[in-house]
Structures are given as C-alpha cells and as structure tokens.
Amino acid sequence: MKIPKHTVVIEYPYPEIDRGLYPVKRELGQEFNVFADVYKDGHEAPKAFLKYKHFKDKKWSKTTMQHFNDHRWKGSFTLEKLGLYHYTVEAYPENHADMVSEYDKILEVIVDPEKARYSTWYEMWPRSQGKIEGQSATFDDMIERLKEIHSMGFDVIYLPPFHPIGKTNKKGPNNSLVASPEDPGCPYSIGNEFGGHKAIEPSLGTMDDFRRFVKACNSYSIEVAMDIVYTCSPDHPYLKEHPEWFYHNEDGSIKYAENPPKKYEDVHPFNFYPENYIDMWNEMVSIFTFWAEMGVKIFRVDNPHTKPMGFWDYALKKVKEQYPEAIFLSEAFTHPKMMKCLAKIGFTQSYTYFTWRNTKWELSSYVKELNQTEMAEYFRPNFFTNTPDILSEYLQKGGRNAFKIRLALAATLSSSYGIYNGFELCENAAIPGKEEYINSEKYEFKVWNWDRPGNIKLYIKAINTIRKNNPALQFNNNIEFVESDNENILAYYKTTPDLSNIILCVVNLDPYHVRDSTLYIPFNHWGIRQGDNYTVIDLLSGQTFIWKDSKNYVKLDPYVEPVHIFHVNKWKHYEKDFSL
C-alpha cells in the first residue's frame, strides 16, 4: 500500500457551516476572506493556498494565503458572479511541492445580489390602494401610489397574494365564518374558476396590468416581491386535478388547514409526500419560475416551517439554477432551530423576533446573537415593524412616539427592514386582548387616507435617506453596543472598515417619558485620540455637539424626538501636529 506523503495539517477553516454541510452567504462583488490553521512537523514552513471556483467553471483558481497569526493563515478572492462558489485549502512544505495536503471538505459560499443584505421593504395590500369604498383597488391605483412610496425611500414593494380568491367557506369581516356576497374574502384562500397560483384576481386587473405594474415599479428603482403561499381554497383547480396532493378525512373529504387553536376552513394545505411527489414538487417550483418570467425575482414565502425541509432544499436550488438573482424571505415565526435550519437550507432572508424585543437587554442580546455569532454567516435578518397578522402591544399602547422608535430601531439595527402599509399612518386599532388589527383588510375592502393627520411619512423618508447616504448602515455584522447608565437608553454604532463613515444611534425606548443618560463612548475604536474633541451631528435634527473622550451626556424627549442618529466627525487638524 502506497502511503501518501502528507505532512501539513489543515484544520478549522472559517467560514464553515456544520462541517461544510451548508453554504455561507455573501453578496456580489465582496472580497471573500477564508482562514485556516495550517502547520507541520519540524522547522520547515508550510505554504498554503486558497482554491476556489464558480460551480459552473471546470477549472479551479488558486491564490496564495498569507500568514495571519500563530498557525492561522488567511486568503481571499472576489465574488464576481451570482450563484454558488466552491472553495477549500491546500498546503505543502515550503520546499516539497509534491507533498500536497488538502482539507477534507469542499466548502461552499452562495453569492446573492446586494439587495439580499441591504433592502427597504414596503408591504402593499393590493386591494386597499384605491379610493372607492366597498370596492377593490386595481393595478392602476397601485401604480398611482408608487411615487409616494418611492419618495419615502423604499426599494422593495411586497405584495400579499393577488390571485383569484376562493368563494366556498369564504371568511367575513374579522375572520368571521359568515360572509355576505359583497365581502371579498381572504386573499390567502387562493383559487377559483378564474385560476390558481398562476392567475390574477380579476378585480385587480389582468396579467398585462400586472406587467405594467412591475414595469412602473422598476422605473422608480423598486423591485416587486410577492407572496408564495402553498395553500388552496376549496375552489382551486388543483383539488379537482390532483386530489392526491391533499390530506383526506376518513369520509374522503379534503382536510382544511389548522394551526391549533386556529382553524382555516377556507384553505387546504398540501401533502408534500404523495406517491408522485417529485411531479408535485416540480409544479410547486413552477409557481416561482412562472412569476420570475413576469419580472418578480423576490419571494416572501408564507409559513415555510410547515413544509418539509427536503422540499425546500429541492425547490430553492431549482429556482436558483434558473434565476441566481432570486431572493427568498422566510416568514417563519417559529422556534429558533427551525428558523436557522431554513436559513441554512437556502432562504436568503428571514423574519425575526424583533417585533417582540422591546427592552434594552432584549434588543442588544438578540442583535448580538444575529450578528456576532456563527448565525451572521448564513442568517440575514429582515426587521419588520409590523405585519398584517402582528400589531405588537408596544405599538398599540405607545402611540405615535412608539411608531417612530420602532421605525428607527428596525432601520438602524438591521440593514434590511420593512413596514406593512398603515404603519406610516400610525394605525394601531387592535382586537381587544390580541396582537391583531381590528377590521383587518385581510377580510374586507379598505380605503386609506394616506395623508391622515399624525402620519410619519416625512420621518420615514428622513430615516431611509440617512440609510442610503451612510454605507455603515447597509451592513449588519459591524454593529457594536455602547454602555449607557439608563435602562431606557439604547446606544450602538456602526462603522465602515476604514472608519470613513461612523454612525452612532441613541434611542429612548420609553415612548412616554423624557430619559437621559451618560454614554461611555469607545472613541479609541474610531481612531480618535485621548483628549481630542470630535463632533457628532444629528442627521435627523441637524444639531451639532462637540464631545470629548468617553463620557458624554444625552437627553431624549419622545414627544420632541426619541432618537439621535449621529454622524461622528473626527477633527483632522490640531495645533500640536504642526512644527515651525
């Protein structure tokens, strides 16, 4: 037996998720850094190389790794294409190039568009964008709203289902079991005689109207995201064409959906493992690709944690093969392990628990978990302030001040965030004792006054402009928290790697009372010397303050402005730097 001449040890490459079982995530154009322990017996030094290739390339490229510290080596390459890259590490003794050792795994990194990391979402309820009471809006009404949504700074418009709505067991106002013929039903009950998941609700318009809407969004540099909901109304064509794709009761009838204690008599869930499950899975994949051909490349997926992981592994890869620019947002408000698993399998972004994190400890601990642990390598958070299903107690009780606080937190703690329409109006009418909207547009027609007194549209515009103009806010893993001596004051900062952009955020978490605090600024982390002055400019109010060293004082009145977003400016010239 020939024994291989391997004398160099290669260990602990980073990044690596679950021993290479899942890819890490990056964005197009980024420099991808790889680290590994590389060492050998004796005194001869090793030489280490980073090997990589795009999955469509036949040949490997190779770049020399540099000694980093101790036995740690570092190499990097630029991610120039969307899609999957493979990478690994090899090494050999400095004077024995024939004695090559290679790490025992081929690792992967998935490259997505920049919007996967930095995006600003507006959830638009399609039929509620009109002006006539008791009547559905149309795509033309939706197009009329684009100028205002664009002016607020949003670059993704996310649409809940806009497919034909079922009539059997149709839900009435406030999810009641009794509906009148005039009630529109819930759009999550998909399918009727006009079609299913690949059709348009006729009251909104036609397929050509939808294409015009997508084109109009693109003219404002807005991308359209849509809901993928794998449920069917009792009237969906799939039930007649493929009854084997559904669960059945003992009497042979098709089961409706349940999420105890909730029951959904107007929808039927799929059985993802019928006898011909690959045929069924391919049909489910074709829903994605059908709309991708219509210009939609961003998909919010409803309740993915209730479908098999094997299906998602298959489906997301199939879509990515055709559309490597596709982005998938996982709407899985479930236990942490499942949320992480979905992200590892291939979901580009994920909803989070941000909606229910309100205190200083809750917010700082959660954001650290997302961005300062291994999760940062595969889990991209999207901080939604509210959804059609979730109106938090904080927003219900805190009034306009609470809406401003949560908006600022979402937009600065996370590089991707979103609001559901009505948030800009500070809409907080809830079903008593629940975190749900009363008279929800999920079950009825709605006409909004988008200029309603008390709205925060200009505030949203200001926040989104700050995000756009400050690259430090367009990343997640650069966040650090600042010590403050008041439990109601949360302070944190983000910087670019070269410290050319430093943003310090200070938030009063109490929507009712004035709060003040001493901040303990880590000025040395910003390249500022002990004893030197520096200025902080509030990008919301325009106020400028001169600070010095670590201890600095802030005071925030939520009825005036609950948030500081400071741009930190280092003083560049000092008398002591000059000699005559």
The residues carrying an active-site annotation are: 302, 331
Contact 488, 502 (CB under 8 A): no
Query: Which two tokens mark 491?
Result: 């302070």
Cα gap 358→335, rounded to integer Å: 19
Nearest to 439 by CA among 100, 137, 173: 173
Helix (H, G, I), strand (E, B) or coil at 32: strand
By DSSP bridging, strand 533-538 and strand 101-102 are unpaired
| Residue recorded with tokens 């997508």 | 214
Four-residue CA torsion sign, 350, 389, 436, 223: positive
Virtual CA dihedral for 262, 302, 228, 259, nearest 10 degrees? Answer: -20
205 Rama class: left (phi>0) / alpha (psi -120 to 50) / beta? left
Q: Which of 64, 71, 61 is nearest to 12 (CA)?
A: 71
CA-nearest of 8, 19, 14, 2 to 102 is: 8
Three-state DSSP at 557 gives: coil
Name the strand (E) or helix (H) holding 46: strand 46-54
Q: Angle CA(315)–CA(317)–CA(322) in degrees, nearest 5?
A: 100
Helix axes 457-469, 393-413, angle to 10 degrees: 20
Closest CA to 370 of 117, 86, 20: 117
Which residue from 493, 564, 490 is spatially nearest to 528, judged by alpha carbons?
Answer: 493
39 neighbors 67 (Cβ within 8 angstroms): no
Integer-rounded Cα Rg, in Å, for the chain is 27
